[in-house]
Structures are given as structure tokens and as C-alpha cells.
Amino acid sequence: MKTILFLFGGCSTEYEVSLQSAHAVLQALDHSRYTPLAVGITREGRWLRYGGPLFHLETGDWEAQPDCVPCALSLDRGDLRLLWLDGSGRSEPFDAAFPVLHGKNGEDGTVQGLLELIGAPIIGCGALSSALCMDKDRSHKLAALAGVRVPRGHLFRRGDDAGEIARAAEALGYPLFVKPVRSGSSFGVSRVAAPEHLAAAAEEAFRHDREILLEEAVPGFEVSCAILGSTALTVGAVAEFQVEGGFIDYGEKYADGGTLRIYCPARIPPEKATEIQETAKRIYRCLDCRVFARVDLFLTPWGELVFNEVNTIPGCTPHSCYPGMMQAIGLDFQTLVSRLVELGVEA
């Protein structure tokens, strides 16, 4: 029986989302085949080996439980062990690692780099693809080289002239979007309808990253593709996102009472769904993704596909979009979790 190291929490604005995903994945894990080794990372960055009841992940008070032990990974390559830092000298071996982390300091290649350094098989994308997919500007550049249309945009760094930002916005035309280059769950993203709101939107985006992207507002709606695999790829049913105002922010994604509506399968012709799936696979491969990821695109009123982003660790609850797209092709959540672990361990 293999032991799987699960990482959850993290120094990210998506900390709570990670707890919900980890709770669901740990519940769905096939315990007849795999032994979980759960490690939570607090908002402050402390690593704690957690052996308590799973419901404390849902309630968010897991780190206050007596079952927490300070811990760290052995950094000797090939020595896959979790070291207890309580003075006992105890350690626990593991066979592979599943980072159930979202956003910065978890989904952006940082944790994946650590795991690659020690030679741990990763259930998910590696360091390079994780970093690229988190970076909206550089992932767009690579997708464009692969022949996929991307939104028109301009990159700016902290300290750049405000006049240049204003002129770039005028050239793109309003409305437009201002985004941190590296951020998840739409944190720091603003839809700007007029020039007088641009400065505040840029300031908000710079709160989340040192680089920001001004991007054209692509007409139409967002579609999404769940992809599973490393060599042979399984693609879920295409999902369609509809929201009032056309902007899916953090509240629309996770808060009750939002206007976001998800249709899976998407309300589009079968041939268009096939085109979306093939385009998503091209993006997945060109960004070096493996095991699983969710590819999001825009579908314009005239049927053109425009790349938006890739989520390398999408939400992993039974009600999240990625499992829903896989459910639509017959992969239930428990089976999906088993396939994810199998793919990561095999790689």
C-alpha cells in the first residue's frame, strides 16, 4: 500500500478553497489502496502534520487541534520522508505527493519545485507548467505560438509610468480588464468600463503582483475543459459559464447567491464542443501539463475561440467544475481521485 503526502492550506488568498478541496479529496481517497499523510500549511507558512478528524478542514480550525505536529520534508534527494519537528526524531516515509493547493505558493510551481528537488512523484503538473500556467502573460505568449488566439493585452511592471498605462488602455478600448499577472480565483481582477476607474484598478492589481496585464474584454462567454492524463488524454464534457455582467470574480465562484450559472454539457453544437476540446488539448500540451488541469477559453458570438487561462490545480470538491465535467463522461468523484493518484504515482 502506497502512502500519499497531501498538502493543503498555504500562504494564499485561496487558503479556504484549498481546505474544502483537501477535505473532499481525502474523503474520496481509496483507503484500501492508499494511506494518506496529511500536512497543512498555515496562512503564515508553518507546516503541520495533521492527524485529526477531516471535518476540522471544513470548519477551518484544523491547526488548533492537538493532532498537529510541526514538520518538514527531508531535502535529501530520494529520501521521501516527513520529519517530525517535535523533538521525537520520528519520521514517516511517503511514495508520492498531492499538492491540493490553490493560488500563489502552491499552484505556481514553488511547492512543485521543492517536490522535484527531492525526487517525489507529483500528482499534478510539475514546476515548469505550474509556473507558466499561473503567469497570464507568458502562458498567452506560448499558446499564441501554438496557433491559439489570445486576447490583446499590455504588460506593465510596478513603477511604470501611469500615462503609458492610460495610453495602452485607450488603444485597447473600454471596457477592458486589469489583472495581476500571477493570481488565482480572480483576486485583484477588475473590469474597467471608463478611464476614470483605471488607476484604482491598476493599484488593486499591483497589490497582488509586481506585474499587471491590461487585456481586451473578449465578447461572448467562457467555456471550460477538464483534462486528465499525461500521454493519453481524457477530456471531460465542455462546460459553459454564464454570469451577469460577464465577469466571474471570486464572489461569483465561491459565494452563495451569486449569478454564476454553469451548464455542463455546454449549450453549443457538438462540432463546436469537439473544437474546444481539441484546442484545450493543444494548450495543455504546449504548456507541459500533466496528470490534470482545467483549460478555460472564451467563445465569441461569431464562434471564435480565445484562450483565457489554465488552472493546474482546479477546485477538487464533488461540486466543483472540474469533477462535474468528468462526471458528465461517467467518471464519478471517487473514481476520478483514484485515477489522479494512479497517474501521479506512475509518472
For the chain, the domains span 2-122, 132-150+220-346, 153-216
* Assigned CATH for 153-216: 3.30.1490.20
Residue type for position 38: A
Segment 199-223 shows an average pLDDT of 96
User: Can you give the pLDDT at residue 185?
Assistant: 58
* C-alpha R_g of the chain: 20
DSSP assignment string, 176-240 = EEEEESB-STTTT-EEE-SGGGHHHHHHHHHTT-SEEEEEE--SSEEEEEEEEESSSEEE---EE
Q: Could you tell me how far CA 62 lies from the centroid of its own chain?
A: 23
Would you identify the CATH topology of the domain 132-150+220-346?
D-amino Acid Aminotransferase; Chain A, domain 1 (3.30.470)
Cα 188 to Cα 52, 138, 171, 175, 200, distances in angstroms: 34, 18, 22, 17, 11
Nearest to 116 by CA among 137, 96, 146: 96
Query: What's the half-sphere exposure (Cβ side, CA atoms, 13 Å) at 318?
Result: 10
Inter-residue contact 41 to 9 (CB < 8 Å): yes
Please determine, for residue 347, whether its predicted confidence score (pLDDT) is greater than 50: yes
pTM above 0.85, yes or no: yes
Which has more confidence, 250 or 286?
Answer: 286
CA angle 46, 103, 283 (to 5 degrees): 140
User: Can you give the pLDDT at residue 64?
Assistant: 96
Residues annotated as part of the active site: 14, 185, 254, 294, 296, 309, 311, 315
Query: What's the half-sphere exposure (Cβ side, CA atoms, 13 Å) at 140?
Result: 20
Q: Which CATH number fits domain 2-122: 3.30.70.2740, 3.40.50.360, 3.40.50.20, 3.40.50.720?
A: 3.40.50.20
Q: Which residues of 148-164 are buried (b: 16+ CB within 10 A; e: fewer)?
A: bbbbebbbbeeebeeee
Q: Which range (5-19, 156-170, 176-190) has the least confidence?
A: 176-190
Inter-residue contact 216 to 176 (CB < 8 Å): yes
Grid coordinates belonging to 42: 498555515
Q: pLDDT (tens digit, 9 = 90+) per residue, 118-157?
A: 999 999 999 999 999 999 999 999 999 999 999 999 999 9
Q: For residue 108, give the DSSP letter.
A: S
Nearest to 309 by CA among 58, 136, 142: 136
